[in-house]
């Protein structure tokens, strides 16, 4: 059934992306719409808010960490291709073979072997392996997800990794008995097996202070932050940083002490390290007061020109008046073979593009006689830069209804 969706909206030819050619197979989930985003590189476009925030973060690290010669310790990589192997995206960062994050329904696979990266962590292993001790990676990442003001299937992350030898970590402590590793085999809430508690606490302190200082550097001294303990397959212990934004806690990054197994397999098993991954849109939305994630993709000069000023750090985005929305509902019986909502969201994106502002499941019920499930979705269509007519949206919505029955195998009711 899914094969129908992907083969219908893709041609049967090979996928050409990022200078490579990839043959389709039963795992393919990329759509032409998504592939058209690859290579746009908003984070490298001068005066784009994502580029401004990337440069702010880079400069913070450049200034804070200097090597013995007085040069920046960190190097930045912002031009690595988002086409990565499934091994890079998952296996290299120890994501178990059966982990939910690998689902086809959540990722853009080119085929069984290649995918569009779902996080910048996909590059940790290769960069540690070439011998880097301190680096940043900025790039576009791709996830199949719901549709609303804070979710878009392409967003941007900035990864950071810093490794320490025992000498570097304990330099300031003047105690030669301090060690990074121990024979202790136990993993406890504070630390991995093999790590000493003193090493972990020093790295964790450095990590948390660096990121809290970064938040203050970006948002000012008054910003409220809090740490939440979480889980990632590639760090232990792991944390998320939340910042108070418009009265609510907003998660802006994940981080932690790198799994020693990852460092070991990348040839840096004698060092200890931290890693973090920041969401650039989340930070930019907070810093510049950008209300809708689709605006980052706008080519409207009323958006772009607001950031073309001598000191873009101080910009507070002035929303241009919103154009009126057009609502249409669609109800259908889900196929008995099952229904994946992300397939539907992808189809909406393919047919309506950025005109789809929001998709909400407004009704769901099961017919007790037939056992069939019905879903009703309300789609908010709205353009960022003009008024849509009921008629033109009607044409798009009709197209969506047709594609739903032909490629999702649902039975449309309205
Ligand atoms: C990760 O992607 C981990 N790779 C982060 C990490 C790196 C952890 C290194 C440990 C060490 P997560 O899926 O939570 O984690 O995403 C990280 C950040 O990206 C989030 O905190 C959020 O700021 C941003 N983000 C995640 N999903 C979205 C989305 N759909 N739209 C916008 N931003 C998002
Ligand atoms: Mg998260």
Q: What distance in Å separates the CA atoms of residue 322 and residue 383, rounded to the nearest whole number? A: 9
283: its two tokens: 């930070």
Mutate which of 84, 156, 262, 279 for ligand 1? The one with the most ligand atoms within 8 Å of its CB, which is: 279
Per-residue pLDDT reduced to its tens digit, 67-89: 989 999 999 999 999 999 999 99
Judge if the beta carbon of residue 141 lies within 6 A of ligand 1: no
- The rounded Å distance from CA 277 to ligand 1 centre is 6
What is the predicted pLDDT for the residue at 12? 67
Judge if the beta carbon of residue 266 lies within 6 A of ligand 1: no
All residue ranges of the chain with pLDDT < 50 are 1-10
Q: What distance in Å separates the CA atoms of residue 60 and residue 47, rounded to the nearest whole number? A: 18
Angle at which helices 280-288 and 197-219 pack, to 10 degrees?
40
Judge if the beta carbon of residue 211 lies within 6 A of ligand 1: no
Cis check: omega of the bond before 181, within 30 degrees of 0: no
pTM score above 0.90: no
State the burial class of residue 98 (Cβ atoms within 10 Å of its Cβ: 0-12, 13-18, 19+).
exposed
Q: What distance in Å separates the CA atoms of residue 12 and residue 28, rounded to the nearest whole number? A: 11
Question: Mean pLDDT score of the chain, rounded to an integer?
Answer: 93
Mutate which of 34, 102, 253, 256 for ligand 1? The one with the most ligand atoms within 8 Å of its CB, which is: 253
The answer to whether ipTM exceeds 0.90 is yes
- Closest-CA residue to 271 (of 281, 257, 252): 257
What is the predicted pLDDT for the residue at 1? 39
* 29-232-87-136 Cα dihedral, nearest 10 degrees: 100
- The rounded Å distance from CA 254 to ligand 2 centre is 6
Which atom of ligand 1 is nearest the CA belonging to 241? 21
**Residue with CA nearest ligand 1 atom 30:** 151
Judged by its nearest atom, the ligand closest to the C-alpha of residue 275 is 1
Judge if the beta carbon of residue 279 lies within 6 A of ligand 1: yes
| Residue 188 main-chain phi, psi, to 5 deg | -120, 170
């Amino acid at each position: 059934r899914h094969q129908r969706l992907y083969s219908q909206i893709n041609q049967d030819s090979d996928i050409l992306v990022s200078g490579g050619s990839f043959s389709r197979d039963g795992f393919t989930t990329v759509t032409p719409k998504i592939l058209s985003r690859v290579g746009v590189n908003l984070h490298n476009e001068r005066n784009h808010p994502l580029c401004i925030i990337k440069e702010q973060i880079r400069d913070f690290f450049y200034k804070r960490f200097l090597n013995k010669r007085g040069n920046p310790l960190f190097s930045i990589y912002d031009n690595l291709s988002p086409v990565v192997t499934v091994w890079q995206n998952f296996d290299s960062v120890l994501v178990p073979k059966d982990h939910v994050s690998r689902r086809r329904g959540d990722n853009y696979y080119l085929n069984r072997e290649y995918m569009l990266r779902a996080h910048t962590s996909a590059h940790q292993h290769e960069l540690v392996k070439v011998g880097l001790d301190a680096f940043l990676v900025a790039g576009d990442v791709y996830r199949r997800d719901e549709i609303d003001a804070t979710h878009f299937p392409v967003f941007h992350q900035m990864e950071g990794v810093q490794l320490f030898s025992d000498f570097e970590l304990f330099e300031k402590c003047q105690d030669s008995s301090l060690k990074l590793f121990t024979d202790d085999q136990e993993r406890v809430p504070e630390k991995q097996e093999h790590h000493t508690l003193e090493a972990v606490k020093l790295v964790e302190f450095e990590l948390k202070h660096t990121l809290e200082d970064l938040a203050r550097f970006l948002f000012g001294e008054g910003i409220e932050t809090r740490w939440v303990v979480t889980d990632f397959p590639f760090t232990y212990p792991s944390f998320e940083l939340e910042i108070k934004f418009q009265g609510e806690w907003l998660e802006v990054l994940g981080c932690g002490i790198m799994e020693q197994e990852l460092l070991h397999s990348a040839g840096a098993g004698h060092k200890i390290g931290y890693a973090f991954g920041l969401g650039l849109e989340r930070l930019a939305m907070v810093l510049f007061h950008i209300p809708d994630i689709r605006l980052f993709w706008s080519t409207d000069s009323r958006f772009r020109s607001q950031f073309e000023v001598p000191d873009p750090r101080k910009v507070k985005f002035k929303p241009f008046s919103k154009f009126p929305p057009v609502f249409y509902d669609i109800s259908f019986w889900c196929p008995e073979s099952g229904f994946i909502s992300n397939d539907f969201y992808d189809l909406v994106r393919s047919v309506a593009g950025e005109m789809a502002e929001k998709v909400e499941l407004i009704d769901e019920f099961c017919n007790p006689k037939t056992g069939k499930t019905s879903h009703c979705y309300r789609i908010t269509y709205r353009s960022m830069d003009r008024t849509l007519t009921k008629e033109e949206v009607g044409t798009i919505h009709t197209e969506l209804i047709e594609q739903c029955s032909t490629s999702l195998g649902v039975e449309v009711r309205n």
